[in-house]
Structure 1
Amino acid sequence: METSEKITGSQLGFLLFTFVVSTNMLTVPGIMAMFGKQDAWMAIVPSALTGLISIWVMTALANRYPGMTIIQYSSKIVGNWLGPLIALNYLYYWFVSIATITMQHTGFISTLLLPRTPSIVASLSFLILCGLAVIAGIEVIARCNEFISILILVFLIPLLILTAGEANPAAIKPVLGNGLLPVLQSTVSPAGGFMNQLFILGWLLPYLNQPKKARKVSVIALAGIAVLISFIVMLTIMVLGPLTGKLTYAFLSVIQYIGIAGSFERLEALAVSMWVMGCFVKVAVSLFILCLSVSQLFKLRNYRQFVFPITLFSLIGSVWIFKNGSELLNYLAFTFPLLAFFNQSFLPLSLLAIDTIKRRVEHLRLQ
């Protein structure tokens, strides 16, 4: 697949960083603590290992099928019958993902800032902005995200420093007081699923201008994500203690607390800014991937012609899939990890295993 759009290695790393950190920064600490209690922060280590596996699998497949996305080379690996079925499965996965993130975003904004604004209005304005970014192309999204990623870090690092001043290390003791099982349960929650979101490399690597840097850049991004999320979860537990697992936006509560107790007020405005910017990038990239997948499934060159109808369907999905915030939270805590494991880990690993077997059989046949 030849494309005129190209992104650099650093842009790819920043895209991975924002894509993973954006929505998980505020929600993951609460969900992890729900399972892992005071030891939830330890689950980052096994979760990061799953991210390493995703990077290795997606870069290995990209090296074998240069210039192709997972939608394209899946048909070459498993044939013209199973390949389109895998593509259809990913279309469904990305559609649900966009609807889920949009509902998360709308619920967050409605709860914190605009309680009287109809959710459909907030979702529509948000998706229109993301759709315009997709029409501009992945190169424009990547350039925009460079600034957004740096801005998120500029906002986040001072907040972490202020949080550290209010942290109580005794809150994470006793270490492994409930055994290893709660930590493992926390690992297979979205804490494990979000690391596997690095599988978006299956769609972004064909746009990388220096493919040889893919693995190095991805590993650096994963390391930064793991360290940052680990600090956020640990500090959240140190400040809120057992209350962490009962809050939907646990880290937001921490920011509100340090804003009241410290010398600065209304620091949650920074959290809202980071959330909105991060969600914009995440939905824009997801929408781009979905439109690209549709065009490649039906062997059409221009993915931009699908942006408007898919954006409209995503708006409907954000209202229709989940009836309320409780259903969304249950989905994120219990259903999403299984869906993420199947789509982000099992399918790519299966494709790599099948391709490896086929190549070895072909090699033996030629000998």
Structure 2
Amino acid sequence: MSRKCLISAGQLFSLLLVSSLIIMVTTNSTWTGGGDFLDNIISCAIAFAVNFIAVIPLGVLYRKRPTMNILDHGYHLTGWFGTVIALFYGLYFLTIDCYYLSVFQVFNANMIEPEMPSWLIVIAVLIVAVYAAWKGMESISRTSVFILVMLLIGFLFILVTSIPQVKSENFKPLLYNGWNQTIQSTMLFLGRSTGLATLAILLPATKGNKKIGFTVWNVITYLLMSIIMVIMVGVLGNAIQTQMFPMHTLAAISGIGPFQRMDSIFLGIWLMGVFIKIAIDLYLFGSCMQRVFHIKRGGFFIIGGAMAVGIISVLITKSVALQHLFFDVYLLAPLTLFASFVIPLILLLIDTIKCKNKTIRRMEETLEVQHENSALD
């Protein structure tokens, strides 16, 4: 099917970079599986390499049919089962939003304003995100470029003002306690790396050099993550194990001259990142529901999806059992792996088998014609 280009490659990977930045601000020793925070640098490198491998099936499919996204390929190659694929992607994007919005509520309840009702934050974030998603991907992508500049300036300011407080004695040898933490933190980073699933739907609507954009996005993301890990360990030392949100702690104690307590910058970074992430995912959810129900516009599904995200995220913050379920790396990582790699790989295998069968049938038909001509001679 023909698809009009909506955004440039630069805009696409800018919004992916913005949504990736919230991976950094929500990382702690509990979720990474231990207190050897410096080992997360190795996890960053592994996740960086895995992303370049995982994108191969999607890249091959896109090269074969540049005007089709993963949903189009699902219907083209599997028929009615394409509806199941579209439904899975839609629910996946909502699940990710529930995860990030509930983490933000936990942060607010523990670090900012415990007395503030969590539903007030949810409503505020979702109203803005719904409006952005309703306006379309062009509006979201243009906004993301501006927000990306603001986020990078904010991160740079926090890191530069923290460097004088780095102490060499806070650094321990890598892999001092083995590979267990590295494995779990790698799963955490990959589980939160939803960019490939986003690419699976948005690639055909993007113009420009996507290979360079993909490379720059990954390099900046994981390089910045590694730098942040090093500075957090150098400044906080063993105290990092006791911090629910060590990046917030780093921002709170950083400062230079009249600029002190950069935690307000941290809060702004998180809010802008969550807004962009939820806006993108709500737009993609609406696109998936358009394919499921074969309708032209998915605006009402955007509103319905936002309501579901709001209700579920509030329930998560009020239930320890739900927090254990949704915050478990072994739930998020398999879902992301399936959306980013397994489904494109399965569709690529189906496509390859169908192409081979067509080739065999053509060869058989050619041989039959040759035999008939020989018999006539």
| TM-score strictly above 0.5 | yes
Greater Cα shift, 170-179 or 96-105: 170-179
Aligned partner of 2:174 in structure 1 is 175
Structure with greater Cα Rg: 2
Greater Cα shift, 100-109 or 119-128: 100-109
CA distance in 2, matches of 1:119, 1:131: 18
Q: 1:200 is matched with which residue: 193, 198, 201?
A: 198
Aligned partner of 2:277 in structure 1 is 282
Q: Is the 8 Å Cα contact of residues 36 and 185 (structure 1) preserved in structure 2?
A: no
Greater Cα shift, 276-285 or 62-71: 62-71
| Distance change in 2, residues 1:248/1:331 (3 Å) | farther
Displacement of 1:263: 5.5
What amino acid does structure 2 have at the position aligned with 1:273? G
What amino acid does structure 2 have at the position aligned with 1:192? L
Aligned counterparts, 1:1-367, within 5 A: 1-2=1-2, 6-21=6-21, 23-30=22-29, 31-32=31-32, 34=34, 36-80=36-80, 82-188=81-187, 190-195=188-193, 197-210=195-208, 213-259=209-255, 264-321=259-316, 323-324=318-319, 327-328=322-323, 331-334=326-329, 335-367=331-363
RMSD, matched Cα: 2.4
CA distance in 2, matches of 1:326, 1:173: 35
Match of 1:176, SS state, is coil
Q: Is the 8 Å Cα contact of residues 55 and 341 (structure 2) preserved in structure 1?
A: no
Q: Is the 8 Å Cα contact of residues 35 and 183 (structure 1) preserved in structure 2?
A: no
Q: Is the 8 Å Cα contact of residues 171 and 234 (structure 2) preserved in structure 1?
A: yes
CA distance in 2, matches of 1:320, 1:115: 16
Greater Cα shift, 54-63 or 271-280: 54-63
CA distance in 2, matches of 1:220, 1:55: 14
Displacement of 1:68: 2.6
Displacement of 1:312: 1.9
CA distance in 1, matches of 2:309, 2:128: 13
| Distance change in 2, residues 1:191/1:169 (3 Å) | farther
What amino acid does structure 1 have at the position aligned with 2:9? G
CA distance in 2, matches of 1:224, 1:201: 17
Displacement of 1:163: 2.0
CA distance in 1, matches of 2:239, 2:19: 27
CA distance in 2, matches of 1:248, 1:336: 20
1:232-263 deviation line (CA, Å, top 9, x unaligned): 1222122222333443311111111224x875
Q: Is the 8 Å Cα contact of residues 9 and 206 (structure 2) preserved in structure 1?
A: yes
Greater Cα shift, 232-241 or 319-328: 319-328
CA distance in 2, matches of 1:200, 1:93: 11
Q: Is the 8 Å Cα contact of residues 48 and 195 (structure 1) preserved in structure 2?
A: no
Q: Is the 8 Å Cα contact of residues 39 and 175 (structure 1) preserved in structure 2?
A: yes
Displacement of 1:275: 0.6
| Distance change in 2, residues 1:57/1:215 (3 Å) | farther
1:297-326 deviation line (CA, Å, top 9, x unaligned): 111111223222222222222223453478
Q: Is the 8 Å Cα contact of residues 193 and 336 (structure 2) preserved in structure 1?
A: no
| Distance change in 2, residues 1:235/1:329 (3 Å) | farther
Greater Cα shift, 190-199 or 43-52: 190-199
Displacement of 1:137: 0.6
CA distance in 2, matches of 1:72, 1:197: 19
CA distance in 2, matches of 1:61, 1:35: 41
Displacement of 1:94: 1.6
Aligned length: 361
CA distance in 1, matches of 2:92, 2:201: 14
Displacement of 1:357: 3.1
Greater Cα shift, 174-183 or 152-161: 174-183
Displacement of 1:362: 2.8
Q: Is the 8 Å Cα contact of residues 106 and 317 (structure 2) preserved in structure 1?
A: no
Displacement of 1:41: 1.6
CA distance in 1, matches of 2:222, 2:244: 21
CA distance in 2, matches of 1:224, 1:253: 23
Displacement of 1:97: 1.5
1:259-312 deviation line (CA, Å, top 9, x unaligned): 4x8753221000001111111000000111101100111111112232222222
| Distance change in 2, residues 1:117/1:301 (3 Å) | same
CA distance in 2, matches of 1:40, 1:172: 13
CA distance in 2, matches of 1:77, 1:169: 56
Match of 1:34, SS state, is coil
